[in-house]
Structures are given as C-alpha cells and as structure tokens.
Amino acid sequence: MTGRYNSQETRRLAALHRYDVLDTPPEEAFDRITRLAKTALRTDIALVSLIDADRQWFKSRQNLEASETKRDISFCTHAIESDDALVVRNALEDERFRENPLVTGEPHIRFYAGVPLKLSDGDNIGTLCVIDRQPRDLSDAEASMLYDLARLVVDELELRDIAMTDSLTGLQTRRAFDSEAVREIKRARRYDREASMIIFDLDRFKSVNDTYGHAFGDTILRKVSTICAAELRSVDMFGRLGGEEFGVFMPETAQDGAMEAAERLRKTIESTPIGNDALLINLTASFGVTELSDTDCVSKDLLMRADKALYQAKDAG
C-alpha cells in the first residue's frame, strides 16, 4: 500500500508528533551534529529534516535559508521509505528528481545523501542529510559517519522523550509540564485568551506508603493518574510535579471553569476505590486553583499561586 495515509503512515506521524519538536527553535545539540556532518563530508548543506504530513521541516540546517519545504518535492520523503541511505549522485540524471524545483531552482541540488532517523520502535520520522550543488560520490567511510551522526540525532530525541515523561505514571514530568505551560502562556498572552492552573496532591499519602508499602503506593499513583486523565479534555496538560503532587494547565479556561474541573477531579478521587486485586482503599485530595493574570510571565507564577491555594485548602481541612 503506497498511499500516504495508510496505517503505517498514521503510526509514523503519531511517533513524530509525540516528540513535540516540530516548529521549535534551533538548538545547539542538533546544530552541532549538522555542522559536523557538513564539515566532515565537505558538502554545501546539512539538515536534520522531519517529515510531517504535508511538509518537511528542518530542526537544524546549515547553509540553507528555508525552514521547510513541501513534502511532495522533498528528497527526504523518498529516504524514509527505506532503512538504507538514499544516495543521489547527480539529481539531473535521476528521473525521480531531474525536474524537481529544488533541482531546477534554489538550492540547485545535485548530490544528496540522507539516512533515516529510525526510532527504537521502528518508525522513520525524518533524515539527517547532506546536500551539494555539484555531483559527487559518497564513500563507505562517509556513509558510515552519516549513519553514526543520524543515530546521535535519534538518541538526543529519545533521551529527551524519557526526560519529559514520568516513568511511573506516563504523565508529563515537571520539566515537560513547565515547558509546555510557558508556550501556552505566551499563546494566551498573544491572543488575549484565558488560562488556568490546578495543582492537587493526595492527602496523607505518606501513611499509605508506610502502611501498605511503596509498591502499593506506586499502584495508587498510576490509578489516580488514569482516572483523572479520563476527566480532563484533550487540550489540557496533565503532569506529575513530584511525589503525589499533580498539575493541570487548562488553556481557554477561566477560573470558574477550572474550579468546576477541580471539583470533578476531587469527587472522582474521593468516590473511586483505588488499589489492586488484593486491596482497595479510598483517598481524598486537596486542590489549589488559579487563573492567568496580567502579570504572569512564566508557569512558576501560576504554580506558586496555585500551590499557596493548595496549602490553604489543606490547612482548612
């Protein structure tokens, strides 16, 4: 099946979007790799190219002005169809590319070599590629180096994904939560939109660990994460901030709406016996809620205010 929107392509796009890297600013970790590729292989251009549904977008680029091109004219679309390197010695002599606007016009591609960025789960989400404006060959040693550098790109992406995902609950880590909240705050500021923050933690959770053991406590945290996620919208950001504390950032939501959501979560936790096949217990949770104010610049501003409200709730019982 060669259609772009088959099940394999749907899975590939889902894998790409999971890394949340499209349309992010340049980063030295990736620029270092493309600089090395350009220098070591003595080419005009080097790119980290990610293949989205209808475009290729460059996370890193050396000696190229464009930040993206249409997918249907990209060499990298062909490169991700195989796990092997795609090498085009002279695009003018290749019937697939000789009339390509990237060949007939800027950047006047002649030589192309691209290695797929293959994730651990097997999906090719893009390429590390080098481009020259003159025909040339790629030696075995150069190909080997390109493969190694492509692996470094994948390693960087996958290590970041691990750092951004809480291994116990599958929720965002505090780092990921803060990062996405900052982007949402900037968006809300730009378009004069509302947003709110909820923080909650499980009451007397230390006694759960002390009484039933940490393995049972981990089960509780996973189950709470699951039942709360089911109560939230797909646009809401849900993270484990540390220990038994959780955060929810709610775009397009004023404080009244966030209060209603918090009350839903509170009732869900209180009314749902949680545990394993051998033991179920009932828990309660305390909540703090705040909305984006005119003076908030970073997520820390909302977190501190919501955290203060949380401890006021705890003090009030």
Sheet strands (E) in 37-110: 45-51, 55-62, 68-70, 86-88
What is the pTM for the complete model shown?
0.66
For 201-222, b where at least 16 C-beta lie within 10 A, e where not — what string? bbbebeebbeebeeebbebbbe
pLDDT of the residue at 73? 97
Q: Is 49 exposed, middle or buried (0-12, 13-18, 19+ CB in 10 A)?
A: buried
Dihedral sign from CA coordinates of 169, 232, 182, 180: positive
* pLDDT value of position 86: 98
DSSP state letter for 204: T
Q: Which of 291, 18, 17, 6 is nearest to 164 (CA)?
A: 18
pLDDT, position 317: 64
pLDDT at 294: 81
Residue 214 token pair: 């940490």
CA-CA distance, 289 to 305, in Å (whole number)?
8
Average pLDDT, the chain: 92
- The confidence band for 20, taking pLDDT boundaries of 50, 70 and 90, is confident
| Residue 289: strand, helix, or coil | strand
Cβ–Cβ contacts within 10 Å for residue 61, how many? 21
pLDDT value at position 224? 97
Of the chain, the percentage scoring pLDDT greater than 70 comes to: 97
DSSP 143-196: HHHHHHHHHHHHHHHHHHHHHHB-TTT-SB-HHHHHHHHHHHHHHHHHHT--EE
Q: What is the mean pLDDT of residues 85-89?
A: 98
Predicted pLDDT of residue 309: 85
129: confidence class by pLDDT, cuts 50, 70, 90 = very high
Residue 244 annotated in active site: yes
Residue 76 has pLDDT above 80, yes or no: yes
pLDDT in tens, 197-225: 999 999 999 999 999 999 999 999 999 99
The pLDDT value given to residue 217: 95
Distances in Å between the Cα of 45 and the Cα atoms of 28, 57, 67, 107, 141 are: 17, 15, 13, 9, 19
Greater model confidence, 302 or 272: 272
Give the confidence band of 107 by pLDDT, cuts at 50, 70, 90: very high
Check pLDDT > 50 for residue 3: no
Q: Which band of pLDDT confidence, cut at 50, 70 and 90, is reported for residue 64?
A: very high
Q: How confident is the model at residue 298 (pLDDT cuts 50, 70, 90)?
A: low
Choose, from 142, 244, 245, 291, the residue flagged as catalytic: 244
pLDDT at 2 over 50: no
Per-residue model confidence (pLDDT) at position 112? 98
Q: Rounded to an integer, what distance in angstroms lies between the CA atom of residue 18 and that of residue 20?
A: 5
pLDDT at 296 over 80: no
How far is Cα 100 from Cα 94, in angstroms, rounded to an integer? 10
